[in-house]
Every structure is written in C-alpha cells, then in structure tokens.
Structure 1
Amino acid sequence: MATTLNRRSLLGGVAAAGLAGPVASAPAGEFGPLKRPSWAADGPQGAAAAKGLGFGAAVPSNLLNRSANFQKIMARDCGVLVGNNEMKMAVMLPEPGRPDFAPADSVVRFGRAHGQRLRGHALVWHEALPAWVAPLLEHASAAQAGDFLHRWIDTAAGRYRGVIDSWDVVNEVLAGYGPVRRADGLRESPWLTALGPDYIDLAFRWAREADPRAALAWNEDSLEHAFDWVEAKRGRVLKRLEGMRARGVPVRRFGIQAHLISDQPFDPKAFRRFIGDLGQLGIGIEITELDIDDKAFPADAALRDKAVAEFARRFLDVVLDEPATLSVVTWGYFDGDTWLNDHPDHRRRDGLAQRPLPLDTTMRPKPFREALIAAFRAAPDHSVARARLRETI
C-alpha cells in the first residue's frame, strides 16, 4: 500500500488514518463491569497478592477467544493481563482509515470479567508499525509527525481510558548491544528521526491527557545480564529517568522486560543495586516480559525444566526483595506461545523447541510455575509500600 501513496496523501496521513480528532473513551459499559477476581488462592496470583504484587501474562486474543481451557487457566492463575500484539499500532491501525479494535477489546473484556488488572502495550515502539506509517513519517514535518503521534495516542489510550492499569508509553528507546552512536544513548527509530529526542517526553504528556488514571511506564530491554554494556545502559536509564522526573514528565513506572538467557551471566548484587536505584526515584517497577531462553540447558526435558525454574527463582528472589516492584508478567504462559523459537538468536543448537514458560505445550504446569509460587510466598511483605506506590500514578 505504501508504494501507491503520493506525497499529498502521506502528509494528510492523520486524516487518512481515521485520526481526524481525539477519540473519546469507549461508551460506558462497552467492556462490561469490573467483576470480582477469579484467580485461585493457591496459584501464582494468589501467592503474589499476599505480598501486594500482581502476577500475569501476555495473551494472544485469538487463543483467548477460542480455547476454553486457556480461558480457565488465565482466569485461575493471573491477576494481570496484557495483549501480546493487540494494542500495537500494526494491529490496531493496519490500514489508513480502518482502525481495528476487536482483538484488543476482547482481551479487555476478558480481563474485566475476571477482575484482572490490564496493561497496555505499547504506544510508541520502533517496530510493529504498519507499512504505510514509515513513508508518512519520512515525508512529514516535525509538526505533522507530532500531530500524527498525538492523535494515535489519543486513539489507543483514549479508547481504553479508565480501564488500563498501566501503559507502556515507550518501548525499547535506548540502544542495546554494540556501538552507541548518540551521546544520549537513544536508539535510532522513525520517531527519533521525525521528532527528535523530545518524542519521549511528548508521548508521556499526551498519554496522560488521554488517560489520566493510567500509570505510565517506560518499558526497556537488555538490562538483566552482567556485561559492561548492560551496566552502561542501566546508567543511561537512571540518568534519563532523573531528567524526566525533573522536567515533570509523568513517568510513574519502569518496565524491565526480563528476557533471560541461560548462557549469559547474571549478577544478583549488581541487578539488586539497579532496581534499588529505580525504587529510590519513586518509580514503580514492573517485570513485563519474563521468559527464559534455555539453549544452554540439557536436552532432557525434565532437567531443562528444572534449570529454567532455578534460574527464574534466582531472578525473582532479587526482584521481589525490592519494595518498588509491583508486578511480574510472563511473555506468554505456555510453551506453545513463545516467540523464542522463531528468532534466529534464540534457537537451540540441537533443534529442540524452547521450554521457556510456566506451562508446557499441552498447558500443563511445569516447575517454572511452582518456582513463581514459591518465590512469591518467600518474598518479603512490602504490601504497604506497594499500595502507597500504586496510589501515585
């Protein structure tokens, strides 16, 4: 489609996208009332709730809509839900003038019907953009690009105004492995090119306008392992957060993706210092995309599952010690729904499928699920501090 759009249609992309004005929140009752929580006291969310924590998973709406077994498991184990791709621009605005809210709406309805908190993911990312957006931004002035971004945030966050607990406003904005080309450490992206580094602050301010009740988060990757470049990136995170807070940017939470990799070192003390520094800023911490790449673990499924669970427990014991930690979310909940097997950097050398999540491909519990429950039960009780932090959005 993008190759057929001329300059005029590109620069008129805001209107073409069906974003001619701010989008009001969905009508009252659109997603149903928030019902009593459905999670079981003896499951992961039950154990988490006793310590003032939330636990949940990213879910694909197509599976959630068709599998009664998956619905039962999500209702039983999770107090937090996030759509896997459902609220990304590529899904919600696949074509100009034809927004598609159905996948996201179905996740929201399920969450409200089961008394679950909902996370929105993600308003601004350098990936998951519809094909027609890149040429639009390339030909737009900064004012036009800003207008487009503003109206997109109005559309997505505005539709779910009042029903989303926290929004990933920006996702993966810092450069990761390899040379850092900019002094500020920002990742090259269409948004940075079109709007400059202020796009981050602007996105948070516009998200606050669209939904004043949602806690607004910066979600970031590659912060967990013990490498010099990771330590440098942690420093850039803290410096930018300090600046954002000083400028009055309404960032209230920081998301640590936690895609853990079995053949990379993890230093509990260094990571504990980092999340402690985040907590000292008054920022709530969310573990947003937890899974464990098992490529360094044995081929034997039982041994591998045990090693995955042990790694998860080591990580969670550090994370849950911090009073500012508010929730833990896995990226997918069963092994049949992992992205790792499709990524060339994460394929096992023996050709076996990854087993990175709490349930196996048949949705039966694995030691990882038990490790979650054990970690929540053993964690210090910071319920009062967490409740106070949740009140500050």
Structure 2
Amino acid sequence: MSLSDLDLGAVQLPPEATRLRQEVRDFLATERAAGTVLGRPDSWLTGWDPAFTRRLARHGWIGMTLPRAYGGGGRSNLERYVVIEELLAAGAPVSAHWVADRQAGPTILRHGTEAQRSHFLPRIAAGACFFSIGMSEQDSGSDLASVRTRAERTASGWRLTGTKMWTGGAHVNDHAIVLARTDESEDRHAGLSQFIVDLRDPQVRVEPIRLLSGEHTFNYCHLEGVELTDEALLGRPGDGWRQVTGELALERSGPERFLSTLPLLSALVKELQRTGGCSPEQQARVGRLTARLASVRQLSLGVAAALAAGRPADVQAALVKDLGTRFEGELVNEVREILPIAARFDATRGSYPELLATAILHAPGYTLRGGTNEILRGIITRGLELSR
C-alpha cells in the first residue's frame, strides 16, 4: 500500500500562475511599504483587516474560482492557490474574508438556491460579506455527527436552538453556515442539514473565547430560538453530512495548513543573516525544514488539482492537514533550537523575538482546529483500506 493509492501526484503550475505570482508580490511590496503587511504568523486566523480585503477584491483575488456571472473571477483552483500562498507567506491580514472565500462561497455555489447564489456570491467576491463556520460544539470535538444544535419545523420555516463553539470571527462576521439536526435517525450521519444564519439576528448571542495571548478570535455562538425562513436552508434537508464532508476538503487541504508559521522561518533566516551567518549545523536544520515544507506543498497542490478536476479529495485533504499542522508546530520548536533567543511579546513588533512569542502561543491550535489529528488519521486509515 502506498500514497499512490490516494491519487496524489506531482502538479505543475500553469504559465499564467507565474505571472500572477509576480503581480501578487508587487501588490504585497506596496502594502508592506505602507505598513499593512507585517509578516505575522497565523495571519489567516487573526489578521482582521476589511480594508485590506477590499483592496484584494479590487484586484479580483477574492472569489477567484466563482463564475463571472456571480461576480467571481472564473479562474482555476491552481491560480487561486498561487495567490493565497503568497498572502500567507507574507503574513498578510486576510482573516476577514478567509472562510467566505475558502469554503462558504464554493459551498453556496454548489448547494445553494439561485436566490442564495445571486445574493451572497457577488458580495463575497467584492470583499463585502464575511462568514463563520458553525460546525463544532462543546463535548463533540471533531465528531460532527454528534451535534446537538436542532432546527425544528415551524409554520414559517425553522427554529434553530443550540450552541456552537470555536466559531471564529462570529463577533465581526455577517453570517455563519450552521450544521444542525433536523431529524432523528439511528444513522447519526442522517438527519443533518445546513443553514445560513445572520449573526446579527437578535436571537444570536456571541460569547468570546480568548486565546492564550488574550486575542479575541473564537467564540461561543448561542442560537437562542433563531427563527429562519425556508430561504435559509442550504441544500436539501438531511443532506448536511454529505455537504459538510465536501466542505471539509476545502477547509483542510489549503496552504494555511502548513504555512501559518512560514513568516517565523523567514524571520529566522533574516536574523541569522543579520547576526553574521549561520553554522553548517544551522544550515542543515533550516534545509530540512525547507524540504519538509516543499513536500507538504506538493501534497496540497495535488488536492487543489483534484478539486479543480471535480474529484473527491476528503482523504487526501485529511493527509495534508495531519502532515501540515504537525510541521507547523514542529517548526516553532525547531526554530527555537536553531537560534535560542528568548521569545518576547514586549520586543519590537515584527522582530524575531516578538514573532517567536506569537508563534509559540498560537502553536497549540494548529493540530486542533479543522479536526484533530487523531480523527484525521482515522479518515486516512479508512481511505487506505478502501483503496486496496
């Protein structure tokens, strides 16, 4: 049994991707000079800057794979891949639109009604409509089939009751796609449905969950009898599990699953240069990190190519996230050993000690969010068994 059983092959980026990469780098150089791009670790989660998002949208770099008829760019998954890896490598503040661009837009395109597509997709592409993920719940962990949030039929539609947890950006975003149980069934994967919920609804109460650093990124999202019309239902009743598993392939396979700490690696190299070069051992260790990074990137590109071809990639995405998020955490520890300088939050913003402190505090979340690695390995194992 080998990785070839999962149909992961080398991917060559098209020529237009090279030109696009340079355009993005030129844009980022301008932003960096203006002080809006600061090379932050984990910028896709904590870098909230709606104005930066709108500037990206004016270049056509949000909603790139959405059809032009809905305001999108009509471009390929691989072209989008180039844009987002450049943004992540630069540590750009992209969290405002991240979920909307990565998964809410494609999910609405695939499963939404024409009215939902016409309403939401142009706004997403314009950087004017932001989404959160309403999947996880307390005591459920990565077991999405055990969700207890319920949507009950009413005379006018649905009433949604329950609490979602780790709902990133719910305090600043516009909507969330919420997974809820709409029907009891012996099969836990049946009877689940998705709904588009207005986060400013008076029956939605958002409670902060602060990171170790004190940052407010995640939340409890209490749905206290939210009244929804049938127009809020995304897809067909009972299709929620199938829709969510497809959505998770988008969530788990992208460059953000191995590039969250790349700005720290870049800062390490600059610091080694600044202090007079590095020893052969330091060079070797940086080289090994770079080689691992290149390997995971090829796997991630393989998933992007599979999604572009319309092939299922759930198992491949789980593999990327497992390998990628472990690499992110191990990179932080390796960097600390390569250049043992004390991490300091009170150091100059953007300096190596300050970036190291930020990366250390964010590291515990890498292998948790989007599904724990233990759950992912179960998915990978089942996929390998089925590929025999």
Q: TM-score scaled to structure 1, two decimals?
A: 0.26
The structure richer in helix per residue is 2
Q: TM-score scaled to structure 2, two decimals?
A: 0.26
